[in-house]
């Protein structure tokens, strides 16, 4: 099972970005008020259950931790969306997707390099 952590401070975010120098990290941006995000969260949970413990999955709740979500978008230069999944390595985005394309299958394909960088999976 993948490791899971929720972050909600600038220090947590910086720690995650630094940790991405050592291993790939999945960041899930989740809106607790959105049905589409609730469906995406279920997909991410399924991914966590079936993945190896080498993967770290991080959640940012975009309503409760808006400043952290904005800081992530600014630091990495990616437009904010939610739900949104980003795959990081070495403080860089390897892949990202949002809304209906946040699926367990697409996350696995991105980790395996089967989806081109920065291309949404449809």
Record the pTM. 0.93
Taking the CA atoms of the chain, what radius of gyration do you get in angstroms? 13
Each residue's pLDDT tens digit, 22-70: 999 999 999 999 999 999 999 999 999 999 888 999 999 999 999 999 9
Distances (CA, A) of 38 to 21, 87, 89, 120: 30, 20, 26, 20
Each residue's pLDDT tens digit, 14-26: 999 999 999 999 9
Q: Which long-range contacts (CB under 8 A, 24 or more apart) does 109-118 make?
A: 111/24, 111/26, 111/55, 111/87, 117/93, 118/93
């Amino acid at each position: 099972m993948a490791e899971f952590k929720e972050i909600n401070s600038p220090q947590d975010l910086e720690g995650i970005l630094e940790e991405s120098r050592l291993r790939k990290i999945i960041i899930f941006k989740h809106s607790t008020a959105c049905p589409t995000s609730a469906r995406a969260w279920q997909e991410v949970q399924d991914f966590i259950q079936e993945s190896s413990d080498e993967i770290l999955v991080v959640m940012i709740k975009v309503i409760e931790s808006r400043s952290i979500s904005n800081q992530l978008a600014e630091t990495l230069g990616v437009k904010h969306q939610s739900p949104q999944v980003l795959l990081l390595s070495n403080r860089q985005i390897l892949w990202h997707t949002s809304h209906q394309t946040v699926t367990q299958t697409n996350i696995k394909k991105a980790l395996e390099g089967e989806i081109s960088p920065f291309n949404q999976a449809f």
